Amino acid sequence: MDQESIERPKQTAGTPLLEGRPPKVASRGANVFYGDKQAIKEVSLDIGENEVTAFIGPSGCGKSTFLRCLNRMNDTIDICRVSGDIRLDGQDIYDKSVDVVELRTRIGMVFQKPNPFPKSIMENVAYGPRIHGMITDKASLEEVVQGSLERAGLWEEVKDRLDTPGTGLSGGQQQRLCIARAIAVHPEVILMDEPCSALDPIATAKIEELIDELRENFTIVIVTHSMQQAARVSQRTAFFHLGELIECNDTEQIFTNPEHKLTQGYITGRFG
Ligand SMILES: Nc1ncnc2c1ncn2[C@@H]1O[C@H](COP(=O)(O)OP(=O)(O)O)[C@@H](O)[C@H]1O
Ligand SMILES: [Mg+2]
């Protein structure tokens, strides 16, 4: 399909959430540049609390770039510049007064490739709480480690080998360990960038099940190249194309009756 000839939607001032709830995270007019090249254009998007929001769209459309705006991970990329307004609970996360380290404990991240530290399973989970002063004694250490591993659905599989290296686990277990590590510092939002793309179908199913459980306590944003996965795990789906947010709506609506031709084209496999 000739992408230039497709009628482009007008960017709206943001896609309202249902039930008039305030968004957990809200972006208005976000732009991202790598040097002179614009990767994200005027993205306005609301992310609902205790929901899973999926970001979909063709490779290179800016899903990871936009995700990284939400906890200022783009700050770590030298040539990257972000403008616009992004808020967590109504507070501007790019304000000068914001402590970025604290922000990233409130908005944690799980990456595509499981990346446990080269330390024991126990230490992988205890690391964050320890550097943030959340662990005061052995009892609180054990509580945090067990609680996080339980919530990540990994406790039963590793409780007898907490002192063994995290890197010795299977891929799926390593990813759940990374989720446990993210949970351990009590984040409010968890960003996941294609968390299952390195995993087999059984490990993927476990992570998807876990995501569904986690949304009771956390707000989750997941980038996925799998439309089936977006349909299975998310309540809302945002479709990106060439750096623009084309539409964001209830997941069911996006997959059954999208508003824009570009979305229709992507979900029916005509491009991407
Ligand atoms: N660190 C970077 N430096 C320069 N350009 C980048 C960098 N990361 C991403 N880009 C560019 O930004 C655009 C969006 O990339 P990305 O956010 O990774 O897309 P997606 O996650 O949807 O595949 C692409 O054109 C990509 O080449
Ligand atoms: Mg990406």
Identify whether 131 is part of a domain. no
Is 80 within a domain? yes
Taking the centre of ligand 1 as the mean of its atom positions, its distance from the CA of residue 34, in whole angstroms, is: 8
Largest pairwise CA distance in the chain: 63
25 falls within a domain = yes
- Whose atoms come closest to the Cα of 73: which ligand? 1
Evaluate if pTM is beyond 0.85.
yes
Task: Tell me the H-state helices in the chain.
Answer: 63-69, 100-106, 121-131, 138-151, 155-158, 171-183, 201-214, 227-233, 251-256, 261-267
Quick check: CB of 71 below 6 Å from ligand 1?
no
* Residue 175 within a domain: no
Q: Is the CB of 61 under 6 A from ligand 1?
A: yes
One digit per residue, the tens of pLDDT, for the chain of length 272 reads 444 444 544 444 445 565 678 999 999 999 999 999 999 999 999 999 999 999 999 999 999 999 999 999 999 999 999 999 999 999 999 999 999 999 999 999 999 999 999 999 999 999 999 998 888 898 899 999 999 999 999 999 999 999 999 999 999 999 999 999 999 999 999 999 999 999 999 999 999 999 999 999 999 999 999 999 999 999 999 999 999 999 999 999 999 999 999 999 999 987 66
Q: How far is the CA of 60 from the centre of ligand 2 (A)?
A: 7
| Protein residues placing their CB within 5 Å of the ion ligand 2 | 64
Q: What is the dihedral of CA 254, 258, 263, 267, to 10 degrees?
A: 60
The domain that contains 251 carries what CATH number? 3.40.50.300
Distance 58 CA to ligand 2 centre (A): 9
pLDDT in the model for residue 16: 57
Closest CA to 195 of 216, 156, 225: 225
Place of tokens 């662990």: 135
Residue 93 falls inside a structural domain: yes
Q: Is residue 98 part of a domain?
A: yes
Split into its structural domains, the chain has a count of 1
pLDDT (0 to 100) of residue 87: 97
Pairwise CA distance, residues 128 & 21, whole Å: 31
User: Would 134 be classed as within a structural domain?
Assistant: no
Distance (angstroms) between ligand 1 centre and the Cα of 75 equals: 14
| Nearest ligand for residue 61 CA | 1
Query: 63 in a domain, yes or no?
Result: yes
Q: Which residue out of 31, 32, 33, 34 has the highest number of ligand 1 atoms within 8 Å of its CB and is therefore the one to mutate? A: 34
Distance, C-alpha 262 to centroid of its chain = 23
Per-residue H/E/C for 29-67: EEEEEECCEEEEEEEEEEECCCCEEEEECCCCCCHHHHH
Structural domain harbouring 75? 3-116+188-267
